[in-house]
Amino acid sequence: GNWALFCATASFAFYPIVMSMLGMCFFMEGPQRDTEVTDLMRIFRRVEVIAFTFTALFAGLWVYQAYSRINESSEKHPILKSGMNIILKESREFYDNGKKWATEHISHFDFVHWISAHPIFAMNCMLNTLEPVISFYTKFVLTSMMSTDWMLNRVSNEKKFEFLTANRDLLPYDATSAEVETLSRSRAMRLDALVVAFGGAVEEDMDVSKERSRRARK
């Protein structure tokens, strides 16, 4: 119900969507020139800095508003202030008593005897425990199927760009043969960097580079 908290949550949660939309405007799904990559990364950094700055500002404003409202209410209503002190005191006592009770009962708890004494309640507890697990698993399977389909589509698109000359019409701009070869080398270099970043190894062989250039010219 607080506008500052809402703005902080929206700024932190939705800035990746803004970055995705900007990436689609810059043809992020295909090979890019070095200048375009530099400009896009600069824009992404600015969006991220702005989002985190606004999130911190709105979160701090929300904390300040909440603190000010509590102090103002306690000053205007002495009964509320005394009631808050009583609640805090009782909360501490309840926590201490609950901790003591839990320590005494858990150390002498017989699980089998408790189930035999409360079979229906134990069954309801087990079903209530399994329900969110099953729901999460079904949603996980559905999400995995959709993600697999998306990944297969991405792999197909990446395979197309290994043959840039044959798929030159997929580029959003007209490219010469020299530019196609440069784009192919840059793309291979970035993919190799991605492999290394995720713990893999790449082949630093000239024959591999020549084979990639030959594929790009087909």
Bigger pLDDT: 65 vs 212: 65
* Closest by Cα among 156, 123, 121 to 30: 156
Cβ(51)–Cβ(15) below 8 Å: yes
Residue 214 pLDDT level (bands cut at 50, 70, 90): low
- Let me know if 144 is exposed, middle or buried by CB neighbors in 10 A (0-12, 13-18, 19+): exposed
Size of the chain, expressed as the number of residues it contains: 218
Q: Which among 43-57, 104-118, 138-152 has the top mean pLDDT?
A: 43-57
Q: How far is CA 58 from the centre of its chain?
A: 21
Cβ(166)–Cβ(218) below 8 Å: yes
| 96's tokens | 């201490």
**Coil, strand or helix: which one is 179?**
helix
Give the model confidence (pLDDT) of 4-34 as tens digits. 888 988 888 888 888 888 877 776 666 677 6
Q: How many Cβ atoms are within 10 Å of 121's Cβ, its own excluded?
A: 11
Give the model confidence (pLDDT) of 98-120 as tens digits. 777 777 766 666 667 777 888 88
Q: What is the CA radius of gyration of the chain?
A: 30
| 179's tokens | 């530019």
Q: What is the mean pLDDT of residues 46-51?
A: 91
| Mean pLDDT rounded to a whole number for the chain | 78
Q: What is the mean pLDDT of residues 41-59?
A: 91
Bigger pLDDT: 59 vs 155: 59
What beta strand segments (E) does the chain contain? none
- For residue 197, the one-letter residue type is A
Q: How far apart are the first and last CA of the chain?
A: 60
